[in-house]
Structure 1
Amino acid sequence: MALYELAVLGTPTTTQAEELRGLVSKVVDSFGMTLGNEVGWSVCPDAFAPPSNLAAAAVFYGGVEALKQDVAPLLRGGVPILPVASELTRVREEIPEALRQLNCIAYGAAGAQRVAVALLECAGLLPKQRRVFVSYRRNESREVALQLFDELSARQFDVFLDTHDIRPAEDFQAMLWHRLCDSDVLVMLDTPGYFESRWTNAEFGRALAKGISVLRIGWPDQTPSPRTATASRVELLASDFQGSGRVSADAIERICLQLEMVRSQGYAVRNLNLVSKLRLAVETIGGAFVGVGPHKAVHVSLPDSRPLIVHPAVGVPTALTLHEATTHTPDSTSAVMYDPVGLHPEWQAHLDWLGGQIRTVRWMKVEEAAWRLADWEG
């Protein structure tokens, strides 16, 4: 069963499709997944309609025959599409009109490598995008937590574990919530005393409040709390445990497979939530939603018909987020939209200061989107 969905649309040459498959497959393999299995791969399908709860993206190779293809359903669904032309001077001759408002990629010298990176980024499949938070009680599941840290790190996840990632003298709880906000999945080790701890109890509740997916790893004979009814689950058996307090390789494989599924769904839902709120905001003030292009950039039209590019930031935005937005939209003003709930106060102050120094890209809090867009200065 596919956990992610990728598609090659338009009129790619056989060489282009095979080169792209090879590059994407190499990255996917490093995650312990297989292209065409856990990561769906469709080349010129009759229709590409990925489920809205899975991370998905498509690359569209332009050409004369490609001008006739209907991409409107994908644009309406918010699926990121990467239009690729042979040269930027050939966009009108090779790319359907509906896609011309999105930033197009020229195949050029970078060729398949550039297209592969952009496609993986849109699906959330770059290593830097794969973030998980391990929530556990040290006196009950420390060995398994440490084992998961090692195993998930080897599969190219950025794993937060409190014993590894918070330096001495830092504001422990503020940093804890900050890192939780930057995670795609909360991996909860559900031992008998999990909900008896103030901190694990709060980690679980705040993950739900932030819309972060939860993967419950249940200890043998541990009755699930009703609070975990919406969580995805992996049940451990007594036979899964070894004398060292760690679990078997088979149990690790079950956990990792389920985590990939939960992570894909959670990433897709959080991104879709941001895009949907932006769509509602711009339509509320009389503007229009155009579509999602390279780098997951959302193209909208303001009420006075001015185009604007908005970059939704799933998780915690950084100076790099601002830099990338500037690089991707060098010739126009754009915005980075994010959810500020749970961010470290000092980090929020840093973002406010940084936004005052750079005028080509502006921060925009998701709850203020309609208000800000109603009086947007170019």
Structure 2
Amino acid sequence: MVTALYELAIMGSPSDDQIQKVESYLSEGLKAFGLTLGKEVAWATRGNNFKPSRRIASAVLFFGAKDVSDSGLKSILNEGIPVIPVASRYSQVHVEIPEILRALNCLAFEEDGIQRVATALLECAGLLPRQRRVFISYRRNESREAALQLFDGLSARHFDVFLDTHGIGPAEDFQAMLWHRLCDSDVLVMLDTPNYFESRWSSAEFGRALAKGISVLRVGWPNSKASARISTASRLDLCDSDIDSGTRRLTDEVIGRICFQIEALRSQSHAVRGLSLFSRISQGLAQIGGIVSGVGEHKAVFAHLPDGKTVIIYPTVGVPTSVTLHEALNRSPDSSVAVVYDEVGLHPDWLNHLSWLGAHIQVGRYVKANEVAWAMADWEG
């Protein structure tokens, strides 16, 4: 039995035709990643008892209809799991969508089309190519060939892979950009050769990944003793037959195993880091008497402040950009918008850029995750 790496569901009252169209689109889109709907991506339809694991990425489409039941929705919304309400047409939202979901942005199946609806579900589960980011940490004199080979293998599976020989231009501050790219990754893959922790930089990459809450996969070389430091990392231990003694290249079979384990870890990382940011937002709002009504399309958090204002918050796991704010404003043109992010480890110049940009754009703001309560307590928007 294949272990599910992601969990997707359709709830509410979808028609057979709608289910078939969504399934067909999802199945085709997942092929690029080597994933199969119903296997690595668990798939539930029409049930109201969907209870996904909080440790893997998940999302829900809710198809509305007249007098549709909202059973099972409250617990999902409280868990911060994204729910995308879908009506037949926009004119039918108040007829077909339960009140508990009306605060969220709704889609209309007949007007938006299958591509928009299915892509929204994939995005909420972190299953678009631009969301799949991996950082390879290694010692050049011990595992350079394997690192290059893994770069190619992961790139072929539509991961955005950071490798120090490929990802930093010659005129840039190397170490600052290194930490910046690490913060924007879902998984750190450490190629644990005998002297991995003897390098100041590879050791720091490992430690800072843990500090940032980034999942770590330790790929252990046959003659490399596992350090006590890797106790919280996932492990994949190599044997002599996994490495060509002449070229030092990994076998195709072991590349496949590594990529599968990375896929599992990035789902966990996407879920856990997203949940952590959601919890910090919820706690910050509760601290000042505000509430969260749920998470919708684009993982937008719909927040209600104690003075009656509504703010749509876009949590950003990784590095926020000017594009992040631009997209948030475009998605919610009639609403007050905030982009919430964790600033730890980001390039100082980048943080200065965000502060400058935020000061010059009044319709939306960047908010540091540890300042949600402070910022929302006096929100003009």
Q: TM-score range by the shorter chain?
A: over 0.9
> Which of 337, 343, 346 is the aligned partner of 2:346?
343
The separation in 1 between residues aligned to 2:319 and 2:157, in whole angstroms, is 22
2:23 corresponds to 1:40: no
Q: Which residue of 2 aligns with 1:23?
A: 25
Q: Which residue of 1 aligns with 2:271?
A: 268
Q: Which residue of 1 aligns with 2:368?
A: 365
- Match of 1:330, SS? coil
Q: Which residue of 1 aligns with 2:15?
A: 13
> Which of 310, 313, 328 is the aligned partner of 1:307?
310
Deviations for 1:19-40, whole angstroms, at most 9, x for unmatched residues? 1111111121100111111111
Q: 1:70 to 1:262 in 2, by over 3 A?
A: closer
- Match of 1:110, SS? helix
- Match of 1:348, SS? helix
2:254 corresponds to 1:251: yes
The separation in 2 between residues aligned to 1:361 and 1:97, in whole angstroms, is 27
| Shift of residue 347, structure 1, vs aligned partner | 1.2
| Shift of residue 305, structure 1, vs aligned partner | 2.5
Deviations for 1:212-247, whole angstroms, at most 9, x for unmatched residues? 110000001322111100101111110011232111
Q: Which residue of 2 aligns with 1:53?
A: 55
The separation in 1 between residues aligned to 2:327 and 2:342, in whole angstroms, is 18
- Equivalent positions of 1:1-378 (< 5 A) are 1-242=3-244, 243-378=246-381
Q: Which moved more, 1:91-100 or 1:303-312?
A: 303-312
The separation in 1 between residues aligned to 2:112 and 2:48, in whole angstroms, is 29
Counterpart residue identity of residue 345, structure 1: P
Unaligned runs of 5+ in 2: none
- Match of 2:136, SS? strand
Q: Which moved more, 1:368-377 or 1:299-308?
A: 299-308
Q: Over aligned residues, Cα RMSD in angstroms?
A: 1.0
8 Å CA contact 1:11, 1:65 repeated in 2: no
8 Å CA contact 1:215, 1:233 repeated in 2: yes
Counterpart residue identity of residue 363, structure 1: Y
The separation in 1 between residues aligned to 2:311 and 2:50, in whole angstroms, is 27
Deviations for 1:310-361, whole angstroms, at most 9, x for unmatched residues? 0000000011111110111110111000011111111112111221232221
Deviations for 1:258-305, whole angstroms, at most 9, x for unmatched residues? 111111001110000000000000001111121101110001111112
Counterpart residue identity of residue 356, structure 2: W
Paired residues, what number?
Answer: 378
Q: Which moved more, 1:61-70 or 1:345-354?
A: 61-70
- Length-normalised TM-score, structure 1: 0.98
The separation in 1 between residues aligned to 2:189 and 2:274, in whole angstroms, is 20
Counterpart residue identity of residue 23, structure 1: Y
The separation in 1 between residues aligned to 2:160 and 2:302, in whole angstroms, is 30
The separation in 2 between residues aligned to 1:280 and 1:11, in whole angstroms, is 33
8 Å CA contact 1:67, 1:95 repeated in 2: no
| Shift of residue 46, structure 1, vs aligned partner | 4.2
The separation in 2 between residues aligned to 1:240 and 1:220, in whole angstroms, is 9
The separation in 1 between residues aligned to 2:310 and 2:167, in whole angstroms, is 41
The separation in 2 between residues aligned to 1:112 and 1:21, in whole angstroms, is 10
8 Å CA contact 1:60, 1:84 repeated in 2: yes
The separation in 1 between residues aligned to 2:70 and 2:169, in whole angstroms, is 57
Counterpart residue identity of residue 6, structure 2: Y
Counterpart residue identity of residue 123, structure 2: E
The separation in 1 between residues aligned to 2:63 and 2:320, in whole angstroms, is 31
